[in-house]
Structure 1
């Protein structure tokens, strides 16, 4: 018992010495658009150099929750938010900017803009009307990026706007009737997105505080409602502070691919075979294995991250530890280290352990929950 107590105290002291010093947090004044100033805190630490620091206390976005009612696939919701922040890093350096959820476009405004920018809804409209007039736009997401000034204040340095567009438009011609689908090609979607983006920018410039700030806009193409992988951003553009017009769009070559799948086998055969063989190795070790689910994230057809979920029924913590060790060894032996890999081992929708390796790292990091 004495040995356990000494170990616990030593571990506690180690954790305390490594913990961030809360006294190092910086108190600043946040300039509001109406010239009033509000006290806020800039944390002295951040999770990593790739992540933004956030102003405290946390302020939820003015349109918080609206996206859930507009975008059907939960994976699209997560990817749109994370992806917009990822692309914002190329414009707003995390070393110089702070992140804050959108504080200018509120819930009512977002919904009104979506309705105004889509074809008008008609009661008992015909199938032909819906097919000729699909509602292209799903959601408008705002993110704010703040800069710290010399006078110990922070102010808005730029805004990012994500525009979610449908790849499939679902509709009914009458209540309780069948659901129809109308596919939307990417070229048709971009033609409409360009018009929509221009009108959104006009609206933004009329909002107090957004008249003269840089804006980064990105177009997100949603996947089908039941898709096991999210959609992706397809284009982006940067609009200077003194501009009220959308310029040229830069194509974004991102794509999420499911493994195993026909698309994965056809377009990324080597990665498909790697995930398949990984699954076979798992099956030879564990009798309760039900199948590996892989998701590859590609940029310009180059694999950036492989995410794998292994759902298994466990009957004790020892099984979890033993299987995690086995999976850890397979990852080191089978997967090259030039891209990130994340393996989640789950049981009854509960995360049991996580194995993660950054690009270039030789050894993965393991967390057993």
Structure 2
């Protein structure tokens, strides 16, 4: 497959993945018991836990409690993959501070949509709360002051249950621009200012402390732990999401100590002779890809995205683009892929395989961390 077809396949895979994850939200029923109670005369319960993290989530009066600020923050992201990457990654990192055995997940409720819009803007006379620095008037890529903060995510972690459910902690992810895209004139050409990791960290740490100060000043936040992270956003045309690069916890008013985060994302097979993040996982995937394509040569492509934390594989998502539509053919192919995946793909890591044609997701093959066998689900697209 040439580079154009390969990139087109990965692009379709990204869209399919976002649709699938957006539809299910990675929420699954579990053996955990849902709790129900009343808080301020409002019925509150928790769902079954997220399969990849173990968190239950808050439901109020039969409705999932969403964050009004999420849509605003997502609009500011350059790459749609970063929206999912920040949300799921922040939840995973939060486990070390807010144990799923003691805390319940809730989407952010303390940073409003208006807050996000203002905070992500530049500081100016009309926007005193902007976290990005004032513009210096230059439009030269190397002389202008870029916008460092691209987007942000808030997650809340609750303690207790039922009528005693209360805020136990807050997690924040600051998405820092690796590239700041801008226009010299409205509707004009797009230009770029690159921002290196050191500058992202420097600006991100300063902004994180300011956000902690602002959260402490809000009603009902008090002195709960505030977990803050810095995320390096991917470029617009990247085939994978960005990565977290630093984390810290404020137990009081000040963030005392920052720790680095070793998170990496990549695609398989690699392009432009790039070295894979993990050669053993890359070899396993290539063997899987070869065997699947040899058995069913009528395929448009087999690609994967991989994510690592501290050197360990935390997620592999495989996309298989088919050129067939017969339901029995899809069923046979799905079962075969599951058997090959059991034999060849890395163990002890969550793996999701999406089988799709150009316009339709045909099957899902999944295995959660700790499970030995893959679960198959052939979709009935009548």
Tell me what 1:144 maps to: 156
Tell me what 2:59 maps to: 55
Asked if 2 retains the 8 angstrom alpha-carbon contact of 1:130 and 1:171, the reply is no
Separation in 2 of the partners of 1:326 and 1:286? Answer: 10
Separation in 2 of the partners of 1:88 and 1:108? Answer: 25
Q: TM-score, normalised by structure 2?
A: 0.81
Say whether 1:93 aligns with 2:99.
yes
- Unaligned ranges ≥5, structure 2: 1-28, 122-129
Tell me what 2:326 maps to: 316
- The alpha-carbon deviation at position 25 of structure 1 amounts to 5.3
Tell me what 2:73 maps to: 67
Provide closer, same or farther for how the CA distance between residues 38 and 66 of structure 1 changes in structure 2, counting only shifts above 3 A. Answer: farther
Which residues of 2 match residues 180-329 of structure 1 at below 5 A? 180-240=191-251, 243-262=252-271, 265-329=275-339
RMSD: 2.6
Asked if 1 retains the 8 angstrom alpha-carbon contact of 2:225 and 2:250, the reply is yes
Deviations 1:114-167 (A, max 9, x none): 221112247xx4333774411000123221111116x94211111111111111
Asked if 2 retains the 8 angstrom alpha-carbon contact of 1:264 and 1:272, the reply is no
Tell me what 2:87 maps to: 81
Deviations 1:237-266 (A, max 9, x none): 1111xx211121111111111111247535
Provide closer, same or farther for how the CA distance between residues 362 and 148 of structure 1 changes in structure 2, counting only shifts above 3 A. Answer: closer
- The alpha-carbon deviation at position 59 of structure 1 amounts to 2.5
Deviations 1:264-320 (A, max 9, x none): 535433333332332222222223211111111112223233221101022310110
Provide closer, same or farther for how the CA distance between residues 62 and 283 of structure 1 changes in structure 2, counting only shifts above 3 A. Answer: closer
- Structure ID, larger Rg: 1
**Greater displacement, 104-113 / 256-265:** 256-265
Asked if 2 retains the 8 angstrom alpha-carbon contact of 1:338 and 1:360, the reply is yes
Provide closer, same or farther for how the CA distance between residues 81 and 188 of structure 1 changes in structure 2, counting only shifts above 3 A. Answer: same
Asked if 2 retains the 8 angstrom alpha-carbon contact of 1:53 and 1:94, the reply is no
Asked if 1 retains the 8 angstrom alpha-carbon contact of 2:266 and 2:276, the reply is no
3-state SS of the aligned residue for 1:139? strand
Tell me what 1:170 maps to: 181
Provide closer, same or farther for how the CA distance between residues 160 and 47 of structure 1 changes in structure 2, counting only shifts above 3 A. Answer: closer
Asked if 1 retains the 8 angstrom alpha-carbon contact of 2:268 and 2:285, the reply is yes
- The alpha-carbon deviation at position 220 of structure 1 amounts to 1.2
Separation in 1 of the partners of 2:30 and 2:149? Answer: 43
Deviations 1:12-40 (A, max 9, x none): xxxxxxx999xx8544333xxxxxx2423
Tell me what 1:337 maps to: 347
Separation in 1 of the partners of 2:282 and 2:235? Answer: 22
Tell me what 1:42 maps to: 45
Separation in 2 of the partners of 1:25 and 1:190? Answer: 40
Separation in 1 of the partners of 2:166 and 2:237? Answer: 41
Separation in 2 of the partners of 1:365 and 1:197? Answer: 41
3-state SS of the aligned residue for 1:72? coil
- Unaligned ranges ≥5, structure 1: 1-18, 31-36
- The structure showing larger relative contact order (alpha-carbon pairs under 8 Å, at least 6 residues apart) is 2
Separation in 1 of the partners of 2:327 and 2:34? Answer: 40
> Which of 134, 143, 147 lines up with 1:120 in the alignment?
134
Provide closer, same or farther for how the CA distance between residues 282 and 26 of structure 1 changes in structure 2, counting only shifts above 3 A. Answer: closer
